[in-house]
Structure 1
Amino acid sequence: MAQKRSIFEEVGGEARPVSVPTPGLIDRGTAGARRAIRLWLLLIFALVAAMIVVGGLTRLTDSGLSITEWRPVTGALPPMDAAGWEAEFAKYQASPEYQLQNKGMTIDAFKSIYWWEWGHRQLGRVIGLVWALGFAGFLVARKIPVGWTGRLLGLGALGGLQGAIGWWMVASGLSGAMVDVASYRLATHLGLAFVILGLTAWYVLLLGRSEGALLQARRGREAKLVSLSTGLMHFAFLQILLGALVAGIDAGRAFPTWPDMNGQFFPADAFYVPGRPVWAAFFENAGLVQFIHRMAGYLLLAFGVVAFLKGRRSTHAATRTAFLAVICMMALQVGLGIATALTAAHLHVAITHQVGAILLWVLILRARHLSQYPIVGSIREGTQ
C-alpha cells in the first residue's frame, strides 16, 4: 500500500532539515571570562570599601600625618627595631603637628597613630597589586571581553592617581601652615575613592548579565527613573564631598546639638575666618561647613522621597525593591548623621556614618542600573 504524502511536501524533493536559531550569538567570541573578572572586581570593591573605612579611622584618630615621607615601595616595610622607631619618631617630632599639637607625645603613643596610617597606605598597595596581577593575567590569557580593556585599565590609572592625591593631601599638613591636612584636598581624596568604588560597583553589575541580556533589558529602560536616579547619584556624591569638608576641619565636633546649632538655626560668624577672604569660609568655617552639610542632607532626603515615589510605580519588582532600599538607607543615614553631630563625632558613630555613605552610594547605583537595565519578572512566579 502506498504511503500517504503531506500536501505541503514538495514533489520529487527530499525533506529539508529545519533551521533552529542558535542562542547567544551576540555574546559568542566576545564574552571572555565575565564571571572570573566579576569576582576579581568584587574583591577590589571590598578592598576599596575597606580602604575608605580605614581612611576614616585614620582621620578620626588624627593619625594621617604620622608618616612624613612618601615612599611607595620602600615604605611598605615598617620600622623593624628600636632604632628604626626612633628614626621615624624623630621625623614626626620635626613636623608641625607634633610641634604645635602633640608636644611631649611618647613613642608608644606615636606607634598607635603610625600603625593606622601605615595600614591605610599598605591597603592601598594591596589594592594596586590585586589590580595589576588580575589585569595582567586576564590580558595575557586574552579573557577580557570586547570593549572592557579600557575600562579595567582606567580603574588602575585612577588607583595610581589616588595614591598621588593621597600624598598631595598629606603634604598640605606638613608645610607648617596648619596641623591638619587641607579640607579641600581631603574632599578630593575621598571623592576619587568613591568614584573608584562606584565604577567598580557599576562594572560588577554589568558583568552580572551577558551582553545579549543587557541589550534585551535596555529595551525596557525607564527613562524617567534613570534621570531621577542619575540626579540622586550626583547629589549624593556632592553630599559625600561636603562630609569630607566637615571631617577635614573637625566641624562635626563643633556643634553637638540638633536640630539647632548651639541654639541657633544659622551659626554666628559663619562667614568669618581670621586673615582669610569670605569665600574661604565655605571650606574653613566650621559653622558654615556643617550648616551646608546639614541642609544638603535634608534636601537629599527630599529628593530621595521623590525618586522613591516614582520608583514604586515601576512595572518591575526588582526596580521597586531597589528604590525602597535606597530610601530606607537614606533615612537611616540621616539618623546616623544626627547621632554623629550629637555625640561630637564619636569614633564609632562617625565611622558607622561613613559606612552608611558607602552602602547608600552602592544602593543608588544599583537602583540606577535596574532603571537602565530592568529585570523582567514573571506574573506566574509573582516577581512582577
Structure 2
Amino acid sequence: MSTMSRSFGRSDLANGAHRDVAVWLLACCFMVAVMVLLGGLTRLTHSGLSMVEWEPIRGIIPPLGDSDWQLFFEKYKQSPEYIKVNAGMSLAEFRGIFWLEYIHRVWGRLIGVVFGLPFLWLALSGRIGRAMVPRLAGVFLLGAAQGGMGWFMVKSGLVDNPAVSHYRLTAHLALAFLIHGWMFWLALDILADHRPIRRRVAGETAGIRSWLFVLTGLVILTLLFGGLVAGLKAGLIYNTWPLMDGALIPKDLFPDGFHSLFEDIKTVQFGHRTLAELTVVVALLGWFRARARLGGQTPAAIHALGLMALVQVGLGIGTLVMVVPVWLASAHQMGAMALLTLCLWALHDLDRRL
C-alpha cells in the first residue's frame, strides 16, 4: 500500500477524513474570524458603505490610477451617506474608508477560494468519505449565502437612510458565526477520530452537558442582541454600569410592546446587558460545578470557558463606559466568537466522555 493510501485509508477514521482536512478547516475558521474582525472594523469606522456596487469578479481589482479613484468617488457621491453625512469629503478621505471595505470584500472572496478549491479536490480524489461531503457542501453553500447577505445588508444603506438595517446586520453576523462554528465542529469530529475515547464518566458529566447546552444558547442569544445593539448604535447611549439611566431596571422599557425588544434602542441595550450578565453568572456557576464533580479530569475547554466569560463581560463593560472605542469594541466582538468557540469545544470534548 502506498504512503498516500495509508495516509487516507478508510481504516484511519470513521468520518472519512484525515487530520490534514481538520487543519484545513481550522485554517478556514481562522480566516472567518479575521473576516468578522474586518467586518466590525468597517462598521465602527463607517467604511462599509464606501463601495456602492457589488461586482463579485471585477470587484477584486482595486482602483489602479487617478481616473479609477475619481470614478469610484463619483459613484460614492451619489450615495445617501455622502449626501447626508460626508458632503465635502475629499478624495484622500474617501480612500481612507474605501480600502478597509475593499480588503473586507476581497478577504471574503479569498475564503471562498481557500475553502472551495481544496473541498472540490478532496471530494473528487476520495480524500474525504461520503458522510463528510454533504456536511462540507453545506458549509460552502452557507458561505455563498453569506456573500449575498453581505450585499443585501449594504444595499439597505444605499437607498435613503445612510445606515444598514440592524436586522440584516445581525443576520450577516449570525451567518458568520454559524459558518465558523460548523467548520470548527467538523474539525473536532475529525480530530476526535484519531484519539482514543476517554474512560466513561457519564453519571458525572450528564448535568454538565446540560449546563453547556444552556450556556451555548445564552451566548448565541447575547451575540444576536449584540448585533442589534451594533446596528442601532445603541452602545452610544446609557454609558454607565451597573446602573442604566440611573437604575438597575430603567424606566420606559418596551414603549411599543414586544417589538421594542428588537427596535427600541433603550430596550435592546437593556436586553443585551441582561443576557450578558446572565451568561457570565451561568458560566461561572457551571465552571465551579464542573470542577467540583470532575476535579482533575475537568476538560481544559471548561477552564478556558470560565475565564473567557469573565474577560468578555469585562470587554463589554469597558466598551460601554468608554463609549465604544474602535479597538475595544472590536475586541468585544472577537471575544464573543472566542466564547462561542470554547462552548463548542467543551461540548464536543465532554461528548467524548459519555
Question: Taking structure 1 as the reference length, what is the TM-score of the superposition?
Answer: 0.84
- In structure 2, the CA distance between the partners of 1:284 and 1:126, relative to structure 1 (3 Å rule), is same
2:198 aligned with 1:231: no
Look up the match of 1:66.
50
- Asked if the contact 1:318/1:370 (under 8 Å) is kept, the reply is no
Q: Percent identity?
A: 38
2:239 aligned with 1:256: yes
Cα distance between partner residues in 2 of 1:146 and 1:140:
11
- In structure 2, the CA distance between the partners of 1:193 and 1:29, relative to structure 1 (3 Å rule), is closer
Cα distance, 1:169 vs. partner? Answer: 0.8
Q: Match of 2:217, as an amino acid?
A: H
Look up the match of 2:112.
128
- Asked if the contact 2:15/2:193 (under 8 Å) is kept, the reply is yes
- Asked if the contact 1:168/1:185 (under 8 Å) is kept, the reply is yes
Matched residue pairs, number? 344
- Asked if the contact 1:96/1:174 (under 8 Å) is kept, the reply is yes
Within a 5 Å distance, the mapping from 1:196-215 to structure 2 comes to: 196-210=179-193, 213=196
Cα distance between partner residues in 2 of 1:316 and 1:83:
67
Look up the match of 1:300.
279
Q: Match of 1:244, as an amino acid?
A: G
Show structure 1 runs of 5+ residues with no match: 1-24, 376-384
SS in 1 for 2:43: helix
1:303-332 CA-to-partner distances (Å, cap 9, x unmatched) read 112321332134474544322211111011
Question: Taking structure 2 as the reference length, what is the TM-score of the superposition?
Answer: 0.91
- Asked if the contact 1:267/1:288 (under 8 Å) is kept, the reply is no
1:11-67 CA-to-partner distances (Å, cap 9, x unmatched) read xxxxxxxxxxxxxx9835856441110111011011000000110101100111111
- The structure with the larger Rg is 1
Cα distance between partner residues in 1 of 2:281 and 2:61:
48
Q: Match of 2:47, as an amino acid?
A: S
Look up the match of 2:3.
none
Within a 5 Å distance, the mapping from 1:356-375 to structure 2 comes to: 356-374=335-353
**From 276, 285, 290, the counterpart of 2:269:** 290
**Higher mean Cα deviation, 123-132 or 306-315?**
306-315
Cα distance between partner residues in 1 of 2:44 and 2:13:
50
Cα distance, 1:198 vs. partner? Answer: 0.8
Structure with larger RCO (C-alpha < 8 A, sep 6+):
2
- In structure 2, the CA distance between the partners of 1:226 and 1:26, relative to structure 1 (3 Å rule), is farther
Cα distance between partner residues in 1 of 2:295 and 2:246:
47
Cα distance between partner residues in 2 of 1:62 and 1:91:
17
Look up the match of 1:13.
none
1:331-374 CA-to-partner distances (Å, cap 9, x unmatched) read 11111111000110001111111121121111111111111113
2:334 aligned with 1:332: no
- Asked if the contact 1:318/1:374 (under 8 Å) is kept, the reply is no
Cα distance between partner residues in 1 of 2:127 and 2:62:
37
Look up the match of 2:248.
265
**From 146, 153, 177, the counterpart of 1:162:** 146
- Asked if the contact 2:13/2:193 (under 8 Å) is kept, the reply is no
Cα distance between partner residues in 1 of 2:297 and 2:45:
40
- Asked if the contact 1:26/1:212 (under 8 Å) is kept, the reply is no
Cα distance between partner residues in 2 of 1:90 and 1:356:
38
2:326 aligned with 1:347: yes
**From 258, 279, 292, the counterpart of 1:313:** 292
**From 56, 77, 85, the counterpart of 2:69:** 85
Cα distance between partner residues in 2 of 1:29 and 1:358:
29
Cα distance between partner residues in 2 of 1:278 and 1:90:
43
2:29 aligned with 1:50: no
SS in 2 for 1:259: coil
- Asked if the contact 2:47/2:101 (under 8 Å) is kept, the reply is yes
- Asked if the contact 2:209/2:347 (under 8 Å) is kept, the reply is yes
2:155 aligned with 1:171: yes
Look up the match of 1:150.
134
Q: Match of 1:200, as an amino acid?
A: M
- In structure 2, the CA distance between the partners of 1:26 and 1:120, relative to structure 1 (3 Å rule), is closer
Root-mean-square deviation (CA), in Å? 2.2
- In structure 2, the CA distance between the partners of 1:206 and 1:107, relative to structure 1 (3 Å rule), is same
Cα distance between partner residues in 1 of 2:41 and 2:187:
27
Cα distance between partner residues in 1 of 2:76 and 2:48:
11
**Higher mean Cα deviation, 334-343 or 357-366?**
357-366
